[in-house]
């Protein structure tokens, strides 16, 4: 058997665990905490709750909220400038994938210098980052678990992926109570991101027995709890989805992702498409593309999605893919790229951008820009 490496943060999970944010920051040596969030999280009161927790422990902090969905490179640089001026020493992020990715970018720049574009790709980071405590307010991105950060290069209109073990936060705190303020519309895109993490990490050529177990655990929980969570928004189901997200996060941070993420990043960089929405459109097509080279694994995925094993691996896999498409239609989200893009003239350029994405290296089947363009056209 090969030698495997499995890296995750210290994970704190449970209702009310937000209260441990100050204790965790103190344990990491905080004297001035750099808190990163966004106006959306502010509007539901979680930022003020967190700051109150820090105040009760007499912890000094500086707050940065200049973050938008698909965070921009200049926002990361502005945050790094503020961090330096305020002489902060621990990064605490509260929010969905965008605040957490921005916080990682800020931590990277203040410790390694330069610009965020200098670190695009894998293993380009040379020096350790400041200690990081991350608290997700959604399920799906799992930046609180992963060694990835994704930031938009505004000039090139490209979502840059940075991969480094140094980007794994020291501590992840997941409090399911934070999910209760999410609307149905806010829940849906991250769930498809989480589905993509589970599926793509499972079929990754660098998957191993540890990542495979967490991929399948995440997928199983997602399939069992998506519908009831969206129908009733019960805390019990949201909690299980948070466990699902954490599970698939532990898988993909160690096994990586694939073609679906390359395609989604290209659309996000050029047209600011919501990452999870891109996955809801593209994941079934990506699964069909990869099916010829990983039938047995795709059949296992199909069996979990449908609860049935058919006569052949191919039939079982295709049934799972079709069930995902039915789920998408049942939920009532876009089913075609033309529903979210102004026209298709940008798709050739998006295909060229996607083929350069580092996530493509861990797709089980090689794809060139023409293959990618065909997938985009198929979904138009």
Query: Token match 């203040």: residue?
Result: 110
What is the pTM assigned to this prediction?
0.96
Spatial contact of 73 and 152, defined as CB atoms under 8 Å apart: yes
Which residues are within 8 A (CB) of 352 and not within 5 positions of it... i.e. 6 or more apart?
A: 369
> The domain 184-379: what is its CATH number?
1.20.1090.10
pLDDT in tens, 109-133: 999 999 999 999 999 999 999 999 9
Spatial contact of 160 and 116, defined as CB atoms under 8 Å apart: yes
Q: What pLDDT is recorded for position 358? A: 96
Task: Annotate the chain with three-state secondary structure.
Answer: CCCCCCCCCEEEECCCHHHHHHHHHHHCCCCEEEEECCHHHHHCCHHHHHHHHHHHCCCEEEEECCCCCCCEHHHHHHHHHHHHHHCCCEEEEEECHHHHHHHHHHHHHHHHCCCHHHHCEECCCCCCCCCEEEEECCCCCCCCCCCEEEEEECCCCEEEEEECHHHCCCEEEECHHHHHHCCHHHHHHHHHHHHHHHHHHHHCCCCCHHHHHHHHHHHHHHHHHHHHHHHHCCHHHHHHHHHHHHHHHHHHHHHCCCHHHHHHHHHHHHHCCCHHHHHHHHHHHHHHHHHHHCHHHHHHHHHHHHCCCCCCHHHHHHHHHHHHHHHHHHHCCCCCHHHCCCCCCCHHHHHHHHHCCHHHHHCCCCCCHHHHHHHHHHCC
CA nearest 244: which of 195, 207, 306, 200? 195
Query: For residues 332 and 339, what is the distance between their CA atoms, to the nearest angstrom?
Result: 12
What tokens appear for 348 in the block? 């050739």
Q: What pLDDT is recorded for position 336? A: 93
Question: What is the overall mean pLDDT for the chain?
Answer: 96
Q: What pLDDT is recorded for position 236? A: 97
What are the structural domain ranges in the chain? 10-178, 184-379
Q: What pLDDT is recorded for position 140? A: 86
Q: What pLDDT is recorded for position 126? A: 95
Q: What pLDDT is recorded for position 165? A: 95
Indicate the fold that domain 10-178 takes in CATH: Rossmann fold (3.40.50)
Spatial contact of 32 and 88, defined as CB atoms under 8 Å apart: yes
Listed as ranges, residues in the chain with pLDDT below 50 are none
Spatial contact of 300 and 309, defined as CB atoms under 8 Å apart: no
Report the residue count for the chain.
Answer: 380
Spatial contact of 214 and 247, defined as CB atoms under 8 Å apart: yes
Q: What pLDDT is recorded for position 334? A: 87
Q: What pLDDT is recorded for position 167? A: 98
């Amino acid at each position: 058997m090969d030698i495997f490496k499995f890296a995750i943060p210290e994970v704190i999970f449970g209702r009310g665990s937000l209260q441990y944010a100050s204790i965790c920051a103190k344990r990491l040596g905080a004297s001035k905490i750099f808190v990163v969030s966004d106006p959306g999280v502010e509007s539901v009161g979680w930022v003020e709750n967190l700051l109150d927790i820090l105040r009760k422990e007499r912890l000094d902090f500086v707050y940065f909220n200049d973050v938008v969905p698909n965070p921009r490179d200049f926002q990361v640089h502005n945050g790094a400038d503020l961090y330096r001026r305020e002489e902060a020493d621990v990064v605490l992020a509260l929010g969905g994938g965008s605040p957490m990715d921005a916080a990682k970018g800020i931590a990277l720049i203040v410790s390694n210098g330069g610009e965020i574009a200098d670190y695009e790709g894998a293993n380009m980071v040379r020096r350790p980052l400041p200690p990081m405590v991350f608290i997700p307010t959604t399920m799906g991105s799992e930046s609180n678990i992963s060694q990835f950060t994704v930031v938009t290069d505004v000039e090139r209109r490209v979502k840059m992926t940075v991969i480094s073990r140094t980007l794994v936060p020291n501590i992840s705190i997941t409090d399911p109570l934070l999910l209760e303020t999410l609307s149905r519309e806010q829940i849906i895109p991250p769930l498809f991101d989480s589905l993509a993490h589970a599926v793509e990490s499972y079929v990754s050529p660098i998957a191993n027995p540890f990542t495979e177990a967490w991929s399948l655990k995440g997928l199983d929980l997602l399939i069992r709890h998506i519908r009831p969570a969206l129908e009733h928004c019960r805390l019990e189901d949201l909690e299980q989805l948070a466990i699902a997200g954490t599970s698939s996060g532990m898988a993909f941070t160690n096994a990586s992702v694939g073609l679906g993420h390359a395609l989604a990043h290209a659309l996000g960089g050029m047209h600011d498409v919501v990452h999870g929405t891109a996955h809801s459109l593209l994941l079934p097509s990506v699964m069909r593309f990869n099916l010829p080279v990983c039938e047995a694994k795709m059949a296992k995925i199909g069996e979990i999605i449908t609860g049935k094993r058919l006569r052949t691996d191919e039939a079982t896999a295709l049934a799972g893919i079709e069930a995902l498409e039915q789920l998408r239609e049942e939920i009532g989200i876009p089913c075609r790229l033309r529903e979210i893009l102004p026209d298709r003239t940008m798709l050739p350029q998006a295909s060229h951008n996607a083929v350069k994405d580092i996530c493509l290296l861990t797709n089980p089947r090689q794809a060139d820009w023409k293959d990618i363009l065909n997938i985009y056209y198929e979904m138009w």
